[in-house]
Structure 1
Amino acid sequence: MSGYTDLAAFGRDPWWLILVKAVAVFAFLVLTVLVAIYAERRVLARMQMRIGPNRLGPQGILQSLADGVKLALKEGIVPSGVDRPVYLLAPVIATVPAFMAFAVIPFGPVVSVFGQQTPLQLTDLPVAVLYILAVTSIGVYGIVLAGWSSGSTYPLLGGLRSTAQVISYEIAMGLSFAAVFLLSGTMSTSGIVSGQIGTWYVFLLLPSFLIYVTAMVGETNRAPFDLPEAEGELVGGFHTEYSSLRFAMFMLAEYVNMTTVSALATTLFLGGWHAPWPLNMWDGADSGWWPVLWFVAKVWTFLFLFVWLRATLPRLRYDQFMNLGWKILIPAALVWVVVVAVIRALGNEGYAAGPGTLAAVGVGCVLVFLVVARWRPGQRGDEADRAAPEVHEPFDPTAGGFPVPPMPGPVPAQRTPGEG
């Protein structure tokens, strides 16, 4: 189960090849964002029995480009009550780390680029996954500072929600990574991909995969976890006071982050750039430039999942969102990390605890987690309790559960029928 940790192929590229790789990664992310915005609008329209964008270009394929031009030409309004330096810097802080995180994502194996042998990856580190966690965490500061510097109540509430959201779900995400580190024996992204030759970690670490998929939706502020920008509650959330290109930078950061977490899920759990079955039975499937196609297809599978969730699930209430993170995901991730560590230790001692055992235990843990998550004490009473007549007590909106504050001022008298 040990991963491949040789990083000798990195750090040898000439400066011009490094520049070509950096530009290629940037272009890939920008084009993915343009296509993702158009695809999301079309898929949502299809799922909701609408038409979607169909005016600009064939089937509306130029709609994303037109939206970008429109945002670029709009007037940038800066409200008078903002903290101007922080207000202007916040979109940059949110956008730049989103691009930086992709530096250690492997697109494919070693190939020839203008006669130079180089891996299809900008760089790699012994702690590459921790680098991604650190860089993406910096991007959250852009959201928090945008909400705080706007000088308005709704953006501030959106920024605070984003802070609580990241604290809650990044813990579960990190614990799901820990199981991958235990199994692969490395934190290098290329090493983790090499460790999945033959069997992907999604089959061996199914609980970690499900926890990560849930946490990545929460980390990117996407529906049903889009509470920092809930239109029905916070107008627009943390970016309410932004317009023009600064607003576009926040949208760019959101979609680039979606691509980054999708690529990370592909790298950690779906074999990275390795071909799926049955294509992997072809000898040349994992050589040359073909792996780039498999990698992009897997990334788009997760991007479609983001759109599907947005079209299907309603936004969670905030207390439900926190309960999911702290009472379900984090305990489940902790238990699963202990299970993986025990099975790995037994395997090292020579006991029969191989990949098959780990996969079977993982499926069993998922079933147990689902049963525990759905069970509620006192949910079903006995026959006598169910047969008893219901007693309707006066409703107290502030008594327990999700607080509903009372209206200010005296309660108006109720009018009786027949009064003028």
Structure 2
Amino acid sequence: MEIAELLIKTGLIVVIFLISLVVAMYSTYAERKIAAFFQDRVGPNRAGPGGFLQPLADGVKMFMKEEIIPTKASGFLFVVGPSLAILTACIGSAVIPWGQKLLVGGHTVDLQVTDINVGILYIFGVVSLGVYGVMIGGWASNNKYSLLGAIRAASQNISYEVSMGLSIIALLMVTGTLSLRSIAEQQHGFWNDGWFTWNFFKQPLGFLIFIVCAFAETNRTPFDLPECETELVGGYHTEYSSMKLGFYLFAEYINMFVSSAVMATLYFGGYNYPFMDWVAAHIGPNLGAILGVVLLFVKIFAFIFFFMWIRWTIPRFRYDQLMNLGWRTLIPLAIANIVLTGVVITVIKQFTH
């Protein structure tokens, strides 16, 4: 039985990694098509029908390019930087519950790699480690523009992690748990006992702060100052080529995918959907669980589209505006949200008792 469980977990890890890579790969295609739509262009249309094989062509191009390590770069750390970036991007998905449990051949398949009772802290730890990949790469390049980009990334990530953490505290006051599985289960269905179960309806301000911080943590426009071409040539990965550059670009899209999955799980019910009990009773629990997985991915893709929509709509901030927003607007808002949440919870408890 233990061997079967080990094989199931290993298979689940492989599947999640492959899905993350495929989503990251085709996010580049979606980004270019969406940009083309907003700018009244065609976008990729040569490789395959409608340009659908463009990500594969880009991957082959990345692999075939010459590996260049600058003469005065720190060789070992130059390789460690992108490797650490892609590693931390991939391991963030380990605590995300992708669906309810399935019953396959007498075995229960838990669609979550591991359910630890501090899942949110794990996510924050992985996010904090991600900045090391950027910082190491920028420093090891021995290029002043790369170093400036890395310093910007580090200060930006640290600044917005504070606001993100404070926005989560209010959510924890509502849910009473750090486990992502427990948070997802509390949002069962959509409506229960005269209340919306999804946390977005309980924490709209917390969600707004969280999604703004998610944009900053993933270095997406309007927070793409670390790789701002108009000021820094190309940012922290200026000196990178071939698949080392590919790792940095992949890490950004995987981070976007994982961030979307976390937001969908924390605030929009995760794999939960209206009438899920009826579906499980009349169609079957396995099909109900699979439908939940499909709808979770619909929510994730909606968030990814929103990331891309913002990129081609809003211009980037100046750096002083970026830091002002983080320290002087979002942090006070997050603290006010914690106080307001505490007051509301206290009042509700008084009335219910």
TM-score category by the smaller chain? over 0.9
> Matches of 1:12 and 1:263 in 2, distance apart?
29
Which residue of structure 1 lines up, in the alignment, with residue 194 of structure 2? Answer: none
> Matches of 1:267 and 1:281 in 2, distance apart?
19
CA RMSD of the aligned region, Å? 1.7
> Matches of 2:93 and 2:110 in 1, distance apart?
15
Which residue of structure 2 lines up, in the alignment, with residue 283 of structure 1? Answer: 279
Could you state the TM-score of these two structures normalised by the residue count of structure 1? 0.78
Q: Using the TM superposition, give the Cα deviation of residue 106 of structure 1 relative to its aligned residue in structure 2, in angstroms.
A: 0.7
Q: Using the TM superposition, give the Cα deviation of residue 298 of structure 1 relative to its aligned residue in structure 2, in angstroms.
A: 0.3
| Cα contact 1:239–1:247 (8 A) shared by 2 | yes
Q: What does 1:217-366 correspond to in 2, within 5 Å?
A: 217-275=215-273, 277=274, 280=276, 282-284=278-280, 287-348=288-349, 350-351=350-351
When structure 1 is superposed on structure 2, of 285-294 and 104-113 the one drifting more is: 285-294
Q: 1:188 aligns with which of 173, 179, 187?
A: 179
| Cα contact 1:13–1:118 (8 A) shared by 2 | no
Which residue of structure 2 lines up, in the alignment, with residue 390 of structure 1? Answer: none
> Matches of 2:32 and 2:219 in 1, distance apart?
18
Number of aligned pairs?
340
- Structure 1 consecutive aligned stretches of length 4 or more whose deviation exceeds 4 Å: 279-282
Gap runs ≥5 in structure 2: 192-196
Q: Using the TM superposition, give the Cα deviation of residue 114 of structure 1 relative to its aligned residue in structure 2, in angstroms.
A: 4.2
1:155 aligns with 2:146: yes
Q: Secondary structure at the match of 1:288?
A: helix
1:92 aligns with 2:93: no
Q: What does 1:60-139 correspond to in 2, within 5 Å?
A: 60-139=51-130
Bigger Rg, which one: 1
> Matches of 1:288 and 1:180 in 2, distance apart?
25
Could you list the per-position Cα deviations for residues 338-371 of structure 1 after superposition, in whole angstroms to 9, with x for gaps in the alignment?
11122223333x3259xxxxxxxxxxxxxxxxxx
Q: Using the TM superposition, give the Cα deviation of residue 113 of structure 1 relative to its aligned residue in structure 2, in angstroms.
A: 3.4
Which residue of structure 1 lines up, in the alignment, with residue 200 of structure 2? Answer: 202
| Cα contact 2:138–2:237 (8 A) shared by 1 | yes
| Cα contact 2:25–2:250 (8 A) shared by 1 | no
Gap runs ≥5 in structure 1: 1-10, 354-420
Could you state the TM-score of these two structures normalised by the residue count of structure 2? 0.93
Could you list the per-position Cα deviations for residues 241-282 of structure 1 after superposition, in whole angstroms to 9, with x for gaps in the alignment?
00001000001110000001100000000000012x5x6585
> Matches of 2:278 and 2:351 in 1, distance apart?
35
Q: Percent identity?
A: 41
Q: Using the TM superposition, give the Cα deviation of residue 118 of structure 1 relative to its aligned residue in structure 2, in angstroms.
A: 2.1
Q: Secondary structure at the match of 1:330?
A: helix
Q: Secondary structure at the match of 1:283?
A: helix
> Matches of 2:344 and 2:36 in 1, distance apart?
46
- What letter matches 2:147 in structure 1? L
Name whichever structure is richer in helix by fraction.
2
Could you list the per-position Cα deviations for residues 96-124 of structure 1 after superposition, in whole angstroms to 9, with x for gaps in the alignment?
01111100101110102343112211111
* Higher relative contact order (CA closer than 8 Å, sequence separation 6+): 2
| Cα contact 1:196–1:271 (8 A) shared by 2 | yes
